Amino acid sequence: MKEEMSPLCDSGIARSLQGMGAVKPSKKMGEQTIAFDTLPRVVGAYTIVGKIENEGPLSGSFHQVITDNLWGENSWEKAEAKMMGVAVEEAIKAAGWAKKDVDVFLAGDLLNQNITADYTARKLGLPFLGLFGACSTMAEGLIIASILVDGHFAHRVVASASSHHETAERQFRFPTELGVQRPMSAQWTVTGVGAAAVASPEVVSESDKKSRNRISITHATIGKVIDLGVKDSADMGSAMAPAVTHTILRHLQDLNRTMDDYDLIVSGDLGHVGHKVSQQLLREEGLEPGENYTDCGILIFDQNKQDTHAGGSGCGCSATVLLGHLLKKMQEGVYRRILFVGSGALFSSTSFQQGESIPGIGHAVVLESAYSS
């Protein structure tokens, strides 16, 4: 890596603090990265996707598939809330917990005021913190869950994120029944939800502690909001790519690592267009992105066989790819260390209509498997 980084990785604030003699917290590494001492454990996960999502390359890697996006409800919004509620309850069961054991429920979605998460929390009756990071919400949830567990503020936390193609289209673009043609740079909002149960090792059973499939969260890099002036809501990949690239660069510098230190670096969700932008930005910083750098929005759909244009997007895209496909691959020993970088386009339908640009964010989480053959 280059010693001098572009303005994309401005470190002026940190240098000012160092000059004032500020002392970094013991868990802080570099400027934006946290190292978790207790290694919070992912002890349960559950994913639900729609029919088109399960027709892609990752077919069979999700826990549940619904063939009707209304799922017996009279609105798409109610169906999305139902999906999240089921996923959270099943993740709790997968962890071997009772609902009363959960200390905190963290969740977010794409809808105004996070109504999917709010209504799910209303139904479950759990202590609740609502999150909004757009498509980075799953990464944000895992980071906050790990901070709560590692800091001994909680022992058992559930983090969830969801999206639904029809609810997102209705809010951000056009109702699907209008049949409005989308540009090729547009991504397809995934109908899906993921939920993860995160626990402190001290409450994990002895059998789980010795399990070769155990997966720990070891580090997190909290991203900065980056806005390079992209205003096209049909090209959110390009808007988010600078923030994702910034977080990857900062993470590697903070830990003195290279991209080759990871079996897989996966963003979510830049899609095909944004991923190419991120690759180019990395090259400009002196890094050559290898085959181990990919994107959840690329993985979930077949660009040649499915009419999803630039790939997948939405909170549920990275949540289902990570907690379904990738978690299973880690448990099988295919991947031992993954850098998951959730990406979010932080805009609203109102800000877009007022001509505002689209700020981006990227949050990174390191997951490591103790798999042994």
Contact 148, 123 (CB under 8 A): no
Amino acid at site 65 = V
Task: Give the torsion through C-alpha atoms of 247, 314, 145, 57, to 10 deg.
Answer: -90
Find, among 286, 288, 186, the residue nearest to 232 by Cα. Answer: 186
Predicted model pTM: 0.89
pLDDT in tens, 59-76: 999 999 999 999 999 998
Going by pLDDT thresholds of 50, 70 and 90, the confidence category of residue 266 is very high
Q: What integer is the mean pLDDT of 327-346? A: 95
Say which CATH topology domain 216-369 has: Peroxisomal Thiolase; Chain A, domain 1 (3.40.47)
Cα separation, 352 vs 11, whole angstroms: 30
φ/ψ of 128, rounded to 5, equals: -130, 135
Q: What integer is the mean pLDDT of 241-269? A: 97
The predicted structure's pLDDT at residue 349: 74
Answer yes or no: is pLDDT of 210 > 70. no
Cα separation, 360 vs 229, whole angstroms: 10
Sign of CA dihedral 139, 143, 146, 152: negative
The predicted structure's pLDDT at residue 1: 41
Q: Can the peptide bond before residue 269 be classed as cis, meaning omega within 30 degrees of 0?
A: yes
Kind of pairing, strands 41-49 and 64-65?
Answer: parallel
Answer yes or no: is pLDDT of 14 > 80. no
Q: How does the average pLDDT of the chain come out, rounded?
A: 87
φ/ψ of 95, rounded to 5, equals: -80, -10
**Domain spans in the chain, listed from the N-terminal domain onward:** 41-203, 216-369
CATH number for the domain running over 41-203: 3.40.47.40
Task: Provide the CA 198 distance to its chain's centre, in angstroms.
Answer: 15
pLDDT in tens, 125-160: 999 999 999 999 999 999 999 999 999 999 999 999
- The encoded tokens of residue 29 equal 């590494």
Same topology between domain 41-203 and domain 216-369: yes
Answer yes or no: is pLDDT of 101 > 70. yes
